[in-house]
Amino acid sequence: MLDFNLKGKVFITCKDRSVSYLEKEVRELGFVPEAVSRTGIELKASMEECMDLNLHLRTASQVLYEIKSFYLQNADDIYRRFKAIPWEEYMDVDGYFSVSSVAENESITTPLIVNVKVKDAIVDRFRDLKGRRPDSGSDFNGLVIQVYWKETQASVYINTSGETLAKHGYRKIPGKAPMMEALAAATIYATEWNTRVPFINPMCGSGTLAIEAALMATNRYPGLYRDHYSFQHVIGYDEQAFLAKKKKLEDKIREIPELIIIASDISLQAIAFAKENAITAGVDHMIDFQVCDFEETEIPEGPRGVIMFNPEYGERLGENEELELTYKRMGDFMKQKCPGYRGYIFTGNMELAKKIGLKASRRIEFWNGTIDCRLLRYDMYEGKKDV
């Protein structure tokens, strides 16, 4: 049985270009990274602490707890090395498991060969010891084994998350081309928005940016909306400890009566979807939803805040001509109606971005899936800019 209080090597993965925001989250939770790479953070933590990481992190993808690291020369050695691991200490014979792998070795002709050989090794070990075997498949709804193999070094992890943490669980209606929740959180971190000033999200679509802003402002963590993780299938898991941690998440929630978040969209259906998602997240009462063209979005008087767009990128043929006008209108809108605000436009089309007609003070790099994107910052000065 795995000791849930035993500290080991943990690797937290994230999307490339999001690691600085993940590191900020990890440090705020009291952990000290031992190494930081482009797509993740290595630290020391127990399985018990992995539970907390899973419940809290907004920008992460997976929390991986290492159980073994060894020399692995080629594919012929996989079965022998993996069958020697005491899997009965980690999973129940009547349970369910899946295997995911990333392999860079000249003996690998297809990635699936690693998964198949590892599964065979695990089930054969159980057959030898117990006379029967656990079920296995490709679904991440049981224990998830993660293998990283580069050249001759292999590391074996329990993927304590299971399904990706990038989905935060409240978005039941995704709408058209939605931004993944973890990416939305990372872009909001990048704006350095604080809750004392408004957050305005025209062209809000299914509401992800506005909802993530509300969640962040009120200390509502992703674990509030999810009840299933891979760590729940590890021998030694304590259900009462998990429920206590969920209760602590509820205790951290803070309400901010003066919070101003506005989300607008010209589509009545999009706003209906956004409201439903906000209701699921428990933040519908914090967001002022408006059905209107983005140029008609209400810009509050008082402290100047952040205005953030996530427009279409024009990926399909014939769209760019219409979108060129939209991008120009976004620039005119920010310049004419948003003095004193910090404007942000997230786009994967830098040719269209040229039509905004404003000079970006920052170009922050992100990936949206496989699309190379930028979060462009525009400082809307009141009056003439000092020189």
Same fold, 8-159 and 181-218+255-379: no
Encode pLDDT of 77-117 as tens digits.
Answer: 999 999 999 999 999 999 999 999 999 999 988 878 999 99
Q: How far is C-alpha 32 from the geometric centre of its chain's CA atoms?
A: 20
Predicted pLDDT at 111: 75
CB 208 within 8 A of CB 269: no
Check pLDDT > 80 for residue 327: yes
What does the mean pLDDT of the chain come to?
Answer: 94
Instruction: Please name the residue that has the structure tokens 């409201």.
Output: 275
Give the residue extent of every domain in the chain.
Answer: 8-159, 181-218+255-379
CATH, domain 8-159, list 3.30.2130.30, 2.70.98.20, 3.50.30.30, 3.90.1520.10: 3.30.2130.30
Predicted pLDDT at 387: 27
Percentage of residues in the chain having pLDDT higher than 70: 97
Predicted pLDDT at 302: 86
Report the alpha-carbon distance of residue 148 to residue 145 in Å, rounded: 10
Encode pLDDT of 134-183 as tens digits.
Answer: 999 999 999 999 999 999 999 999 999 999 999 999 998 887 777 999 99
Q: How confident is the model at residue 381 (pLDDT cuts 50, 70, 90)?
A: confident
Report the candidate in 236, 181, 190, 234 with the shortest Cα–Cα distance to residue 212.
181
CB 287 within 8 A of CB 265: no
Report the candidate in 62, 66, 55, 7 with the shortest Cα–Cα distance to residue 32.
7
Single-letter amino acid, residue 15: K
Predicted pLDDT at 97: 97
Encode pLDDT of 349-363 as tens digits.
Answer: 999 999 999 999 999
Which CATH number is associated with domain 181-218+255-379? 3.40.50.150
Predicted pLDDT at 48: 97
Q: How big is the chain by its Cα radius of gyration, in Å?
A: 23
Report the alpha-carbon distance of residue 97 to residue 80 in Å, rounded: 19
Percentage of residues in the chain having pLDDT higher than 90: 91
Encode pLDDT of 253-276 as tens digits.
Answer: 999 999 999 999 999 999 999 999
This prediction's pTM: 0.94
Question: Which segments of the chain are extended strands (E)?
Answer: 8-13, 35-37, 40-45, 62-71, 96-104, 135-136, 143-150, 153-159, 199-201, 261-265, 287-291, 306-309, 342-347, 362-368, 371-379
Predicted pLDDT at 55: 98
Predicted pLDDT at 319: 67
Predicted pLDDT at 172: 86
**Distance of CA 214 to CAs 209, 294, 366, Å?**
9, 20, 22
Predicted pLDDT at 67: 97
Predicted pLDDT at 317: 47
Predicted pLDDT at 174: 81
Encode pLDDT of 20-78 as tens digits.
Answer: 999 999 999 999 999 999 999 999 999 999 999 999 999 999 999 999 999 999 999 99
User: What mean pLDDT do residues 323-336 have?
Assistant: 96
Q: What is the DSSP string of 117-151?
A: HHHHHHHHHHHHHHSS--EE-S-SSSEEEEEEEET
Instruction: Please name the residue that has the structure tokens 């050249």.
Output: 151
Predicted pLDDT at 78: 95
* 59's tokens: 């920008």
Count Cβ atoms within 10 A of the Cβ of residue 338 and give its class: 0-12 exposed, 13-18 middle, 19 or more buried.
Answer: buried
Check pLDDT > 80 for residue 385: no
Report the alpha-carbon distance of residue 171 to residue 326 in Å, rounded: 27
Check pLDDT > 80 for residue 386: no
For 197, other C-beta atoms within 10 Å of its C-beta total 18
Check pLDDT > 70 for residue 318: no
Predicted pLDDT at 347: 96
